[in-house]
A = this chain, B = another copy of it.
Amino acid sequence: MGLIVQKYGGTSVADIERIRNVAKRVAKHYDQGHQIVVILSAMSGVTDTLIDLANRMTQSPDKRELDVLLATGEQTTAALLAMYLKTMGYPARSLLGFQAEVVTDCSYGNARIIDVRANQVRKLVEDRHIVVVAGFQGCDSEGNITTLGRGGSDTSAVAMAAALKADRCEIYTDVDGIYTADPNVCSKARKLDRISCEEMLEMASLGAKVLHIRSVEFALKHNVPVFVRSSFNEEEGTMLVNGEQDMERPVVSGITYSKKDARITLKKVPDQPGIAAKIFSPIADAGINVDMIIQNTRAGGQTDLTFTVPKSDYQQALQIEREVAARIGAESVRGDDSIAKVSVIGVGMKSHSGVASRMFTSLADENINIIMISTSEIRISCVVEEKQAELAVRVLHTAFGLDREE
């Protein structure tokens, strides 16, 4: 017996038949005596359809109004699931973001949850109701509707679980759990029974598509027990754990890759104080996020400066840097948008040396050229040529002993 928050993603509620299956799963847990709060995404594809509708209405949809529009997606699935649960004879009730008192800041389209008051949720759950909450949405302190950004329903779920002090938060998706690598790329990838929040954070930020990054931050901060499971089978899935709980961990837990970035290099930049600000301020002013930055000092007071930006901002960033280069007297600007970032991740790295050298050696053995390197406490990332990304994942998966036993 306990309070369970269950989140079902877009593919799990993609059509009427799947919503019925979700209802059956919810009902099963309810019948076992648990208290159940369900968080739903929109049907898969619906959010994109709504964005497309807004773009047909106007080239630059107002962000506040876009959120009002997008919020209909989760409103629809929440109503449909609740009405089906009622037909099945269960005391269900849907609540929208404002009704569940999911209070956010006012960053329309990418709002952050400030507080989940959930008074009505709590009351209904205590009254043995199944509460179905529209995910992805909240409202700001003035009552405006906000949305949490792509994948935000995960964060809705974990934040709700934290607010309710739930016994567990189950994230139902279309995969069995978190894998050591993308199984589509690496056939020997294994499902992880457990993964630390820190590792999950690195994975999420590096392109593993399973969890919304803020949901992991919430889980870490509020110590919410999160399980990632498939809504299409009964497998146990992967449990997110606090890194400290489990000392006997493998050095590396997973390999990720991402093809979302492009690289820009400024050649022969005069190496003067304040030069970095001149290069990166115009990029920041344009709202472009810079990820990796590498500086190679040359002889003669000159330096080469390389950084990565999202591919979607690549052309704009290139244009900005050409102007910057002319202004500061750099020799040239070059770019490359056929790169990929491959990363090895593991909390075990904190206490093990030699991970980096094993990574570089393994890649070199397969003639994979490393273009850039960056590291964190629990991650090493290498930029490689895009066409070598998948090979690099497989090589590293084997090198770090992650391959599934046949």
The minimal Cβ–Cβ distance linking A400 to chain B, given in whole angstroms, is: 47
* Chain A 72-116 interface residues, beta-carbon cutoff 8 Å to B: 72, 75-76, 78-80, 82-84, 86-87, 93-94, 96, 98-99
Which of B20, B68, B82, B93 interacts with A75 by CB under 8 Å? B68
Q: Note all chain B residues with C-beta closer than 8 A to A93.
A: 64
Q: Select A83's contact among B57, B83, B98, B120, beta carbons within 8 Å.
A: B57
A143 within 8 A of B: yes
A residues 55-69 in Cβ contact with B at 8 Å: 56-62, 64-66, 68-69
Interface residue total, chain A, C-beta cutoff 8 A: 37
Distance in angstroms from A250 CB to nearest chain B CB is 45
A145 nearest in chain B by CB position? B96
Question: Is B143 in contact with A99, judged by CB distance below 8 angstroms?
Answer: yes
Residue from A16, A69, A87, A93 whose CB has the most chain B CB atoms within 10 Å: A69
Contact with B along A334-351 (1 / 0, CB 8 A): 000000000000000000
Q: Which of A15-65 contact B (CB under 8 A)?
A: 16, 19-20, 53-54, 56-62, 64-65
Nearest residue, chain B, Cβ from A58 = B87
The answer to whether B71 touches A83 (Cβ under 8 A) is: no
Structural contact, A61 and B83, CB atoms closer than 8 A: yes
Instruction: Evaluate contact between B69 and A87: CB separation under 8 angstroms.
Output: no
Interchain CB contact under 8 A, B62 and A68? no
- When C-beta atoms are compared, the residue in chain B nearest to A71 turns out to be B75
A contact residues vs B (CB 8 Å cutoff): 16, 19-20, 53-54, 56-62, 64-66, 68-69, 71-72, 75-76, 78-80, 82-84, 86-87, 93-94, 96, 98-99, 120, 143, 145
